[in-house]
């Protein structure tokens, strides 16, 4: 049974806190990205953590040179339990983030590095899909904690999970993007996460929707 990760891409702090509190009974982890952080500030991560007591992963899909990735990771992991980065930028850029996470681990503060392999939207087929298996191989080589792989394409999800065999998978695409949860459940296991955003936070009753997804999982 995979876990449920809420993609909290709302643009208002009070709405974000309300939804995360309402759904926290059913949600295992909260993913916060540019929409909410840019609409508020980086401290929103800490405030959501305090209100919900949940693990918060920051989805900045960091994709820069090693020196800049290191700065972004340091600032983000000061608040978040984990950070999502892009793999296509190459081994050294991802390693820079892993090094920052290692520093936190050395002082007893576990931080997760999660790397995107192939994205879930249609456009990802053009440039990302042809190189995604190589990116997943790199995930194994670097021993990242997790990878992002698409629920919109269960066959690809399965392939990428197999290639990056030590990493857990977090998978977006169920709900608003139309991914088939039953197919996804054939691939994911208890270490993995199904990411659901709009189908929960845009629902007129986010708590009921989160409950429904948790039960389906
Ligand atoms: O609203 P929805 O359920 O489609 O949200 C999916 C979330 O997962 C969004 O936060 C989106 O940015 C993110 N994501 C994705 N595809 C990826 C990586 C992240 O949809 N490959």
Q: How far is CA 189 from CA 83, 168, 192, in A?
A: 21, 9, 6
The answer to whether the CB of 175 is under 6 A from ligand 1 is yes
What is residue 178's predicted lDDT score, i.e. its pLDDT? Answer: 86
CATH of the domain at 191: 3.20.20.70
Dihedral sign of CA atoms 121, 127, 132, 133 in order: positive
Report which ligand 1 atom has the smallest distance to the Cα of 196.
Answer: 3
Give pTM, 2 decimals: 0.96
Atom of ligand 1 nearest to the CA of 177: 4
Phi, psi of 162 (to 5 degrees): -65, -40
Residue ranges making up the domain that contains 128: 3-216
Q: Atom 2 (ligand 1): residue with closest C-alpha?
A: 197
Q: What is the pLDDT of residues 18-28, one digit of tens each?
A: 999 999 999 99
Give the tens place of pLDDT for each residue, 106-155. 999 999 999 999 998 999 999 999 999 999 999 999 999 999 999 999 99
The confidence score (pLDDT) of residue 4 equals 98
Number of separate domains in the chain:
1
CA 217, CA 212: separation in Å to the nearest integer?
9
Question: What is the rounded distance in angstroms from the CA atom of residue 214 to the CA atom of residue 5?
Answer: 10
pLDDT at 74 over 90: yes
Decide if 61 is catalytic: yes
* Confidence band, pLDDT 50/70/90 cuts, at residue 208: very high
Q: Is 198 annotated as a binding residue?
A: yes
123-183-189 Cα angle (round to 5): 105
What's the chain's average pLDDT?
96
Residue 9 annotated in ligand binding: yes
pLDDT range class, residue 176, cuts 50, 70, 90? confident
């Amino acid at each position: 049974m995979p876990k449920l990760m809420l993609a909290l891409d709302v643009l208002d702090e009070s709405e974000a806190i309300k939804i995360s509190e309402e759904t926290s009974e059913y949600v295992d982890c909260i993913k916060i990205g540019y929409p909410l952080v840019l609409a508020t500030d980086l401290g929103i991560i800490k405030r959501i953590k305090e209100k919900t007591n949940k693990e918060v992963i920051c989805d900045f899909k960091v994709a820069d040179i090693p020196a800049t990735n290191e700065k972004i990771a340091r600032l983000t992991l000061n608040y978040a339990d984990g950070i999502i980065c892009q793999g296509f930028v190459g081994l050294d850029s991802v390693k820079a983030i892993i090094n920052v996470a290692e520093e936190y681990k050395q002082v007893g503060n576990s931080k997760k590095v999660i790397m995107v392999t192939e994205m879930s939207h249609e456009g990802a087929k053009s440039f990302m899909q042809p190189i995604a298996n190589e990116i997943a191989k790199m995930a194994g080589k670097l021993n990242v904690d997790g990878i992002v792989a698409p629920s919109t394409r269960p066959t690809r999800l399965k392939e990428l999970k197999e290639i990056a065999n030590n990493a857990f998978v977090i998978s977006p695409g169920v709900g608003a993007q139309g991914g088939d949860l039953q197919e996804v459940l054939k691939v994911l296991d208890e270490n993995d996460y199904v990411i659901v955003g709009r189908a929960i936070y845009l629902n007129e009753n986010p708590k009921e929707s989160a409950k429904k997804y948790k039960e389906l999982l």
